[in-house]
């Protein structure tokens, strides 16, 4: 049994296996639904504890529905019920209690240190459902979507437009894992922290060749296969909203920026989207956007992660 706290916890072989499992589980579900039966209960009798310090739509639905489809059961533990990690009771006590009831834990938290401590204290596998440092379940869904759209991940070139947030940081590590060319167009003062570069360098000696930072979004998208953006204001940064809107004003994915990319390029957004800020309606609702495919693939990727962490062969 294994934790998944960071993309840096994986080898390329691990990531490829997760994508394979996700594809199998997606096909199994489609076949089962087509003939009116439940999919294979790979996690029959298993229980999942879901810790949510932050609001969630895609993460909660993906874990809860995914666990149901796998034959298991999920318990939601909202901040209103258990408080912030380490405040109502110690993380050690929380982990040791959960170990008596469940076989796996998901935590969507503000502090990455909290999910690291939870993983240290729990005997059950722990999955990082989002922290202020990384968002590994999202990136697995993204690469599943890209693989479906392109047919292969070989030679992939990606452009990230906007803030170097937790999603961008997981993409940096994944790029180093797969040898993806990733160009991040980010305004001055919002570059990725040194800590994520350390993870990238541990994953690949070519990290600074694979991952590049520029200031001009048009430069980033010029030869990209995939254009990606996310909110300019992450949860917990609300007091910075106006300052960030000004800083990122030129970093919107709009029709003009999409037109500057190759004709085959498509657009990703992990959502929730702030329409009219980081992305326009015309792009998000347009034919080159795959945001809703990503949203669906969150569930398939998360189901794969649940099975992989629990050591269940699929």
Q: Which CATH number fits the domain that encloses residue 278? A: 3.40.50.1370
Same-domain check for residues 11 and 69: yes
Distance CA 131, CA 154 (A): 29
Same-domain check for residues 145 and 273: yes
pLDDT at 236: 74
**Residue with the two structure tokens 């790979």:** 42
Average pLDDT (58-64) is 98
Say how many domains are in the chain.
2
Same-domain check for residues 50 and 167: no
Same-domain check for residues 124 and 142: no
pLDDT at 80: 82
Same-domain check for residues 245 and 304: no
In percent, the amount of the chain with pLDDT more than 70 equals 100
When pLDDT is cut at 50, 70 and 90, the band that residue 11 belongs to is very high
pLDDT at 239: 83
User: pLDDT tens digits, residue range 273-311?
Assistant: 999 999 999 999 999 999 999 999 999 999 999 999 999
The boundaries of the domain holding residue 18 are: 7-135+298-309
User: pLDDT tens digits, residue range 126-146?
Assistant: 999 999 999 999 999 999 999
Same-domain check for residues 125 and 149: no
User: pLDDT tens digits, residue range 212-252?
Assistant: 999 999 999 999 999 999 999 887 778 888 999 999 999 99
Same-domain check for residues 17 and 127: yes
186 lies in a domain? yes
Flag whether pLDDT at 41 surpasses 90. yes
Flag whether pLDDT at 1 surpasses 90. no
Other Cβ atoms within 10 Å of 96 Cβ, number: 13
């Amino acid at each position: 049994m294994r934790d998944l706290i960071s993309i840096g916890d994986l080898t390329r072989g691990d990531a490829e296996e997760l994508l394979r499992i996700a594809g199998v589980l997606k096909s199994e579900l489609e076949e089962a639904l087509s003939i009116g039966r439940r999919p294979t209960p790979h996690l029959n009798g298993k229980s999942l504890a879901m810790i949510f310090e932050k609001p969630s739509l895609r993460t909660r639905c993906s874990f809860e529905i995914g666990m149901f489809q796998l034959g298991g059961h999920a318990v939601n533990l909202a901040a209103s019920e258990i408080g912030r990690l380490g405040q109502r009771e110690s993380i050690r006590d929380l982990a040791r209690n959960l170990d008596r009831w469940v076989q796996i834990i998901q935590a969507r938290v503000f502090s990455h240190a909290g999910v690291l401590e939870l993983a240290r204290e729990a005997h059950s596998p722990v999955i990082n459902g989002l922290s202020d440092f990384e968002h590994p379940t999202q990136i697995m869904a993204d690469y599943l979507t890209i693989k479906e759209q392109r047919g292969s991940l070989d030679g992939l070139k990606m452009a990230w437009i906007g803030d170097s947030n937790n999603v961008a940081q997981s993409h940096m590590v994944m790029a180093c894992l797969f040898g993806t060319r990733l160009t991040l167009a980010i305004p001055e003062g919002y570059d990725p922290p040194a800590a994520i570069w350390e993870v990238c360098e541990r994953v690949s000696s070519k990290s600074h060749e694979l991952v590049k930072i520029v200031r001009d979004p048009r430069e980033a998208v010029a030869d990209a296969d995939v254009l990606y953006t996310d909110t300019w204001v992450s949860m917990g940064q609300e007091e910075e909203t106006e300052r960030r809107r000004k800083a990122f004003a030129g970093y919107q994915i709009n029709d003009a920026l999409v037109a500057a990319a190759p004709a085959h390029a498509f657009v990703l957004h992990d959502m929730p989207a702030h329409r009219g800020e980081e992305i326009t309606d015309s792009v998000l609702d347009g034919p080159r956007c795959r945001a809703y495919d990503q949203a669906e693939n969150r569930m398939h990727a998360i189901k794969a992660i649940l099975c992989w962490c629990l050591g269940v062969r699929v």
